[in-house]
Amino acid sequence: MVALPVPTPGPEEPTAVGRRGSARLRLAIPARFVSIYSTQPCVLLDISRTGARLALPGPLARNQSGFIELGRLEVFGTIVRMEKGPDGGVNAMAFDEPIAKSLVLDIRKFAEDFELREHQALRDQVRRWVAGEP
């Protein structure tokens, strides 16, 4: 069996924007979106090597550039899709350059650790409340 070459878009065929370029890692962790206009808290809903989806209180317009800030990580890109909702919206972001697979795995580890830390903090708060501690 002969492998067929993958067609590449020519100058008259624009690359599909907003389509996933690689597998997603589903998350729900707090981050920030920083642009020249503002810095907004957001929830990183998912991430792949080529892009991410963000939930924001004020969704961003298409073609707005900026970066996602998650701890010390900064990933630059452009907003390619916007979905408005009653309490904010969801934006799809295409990264300027694909991130390393190892970085996606580091984000996954951070998300797992974040969930454990949040759970432990809640347990500690409940324990203090039951014990009557301030």
Residue ranges and CATH numbers for the domains of the chain are 25-131 (2.40.10.220)
Three-class DSSP labels, the chain: CCCCCCCCCCCCCCCCCCCCCCCCEEEEEEEEEECCCCEEEEEEEEECCCEEEEEECCCCCCCCEEEEEECCEEEEEEEEEEEEECCEEEEEEEECCCCCHHHHHHHHHHHHHHHHHHHHHHHHHHHHHHHCCC
| Interval 54-111: pLDDT, tens | 999 888 889 999 999 988 889 999 999 999 888 888 999 999 999 888 888 888 887 7
What's this model's pTM, rounded to 2 decimal places? 0.68
| Interval 81-96: pLDDT, tens | 999 888 888 999 999 9
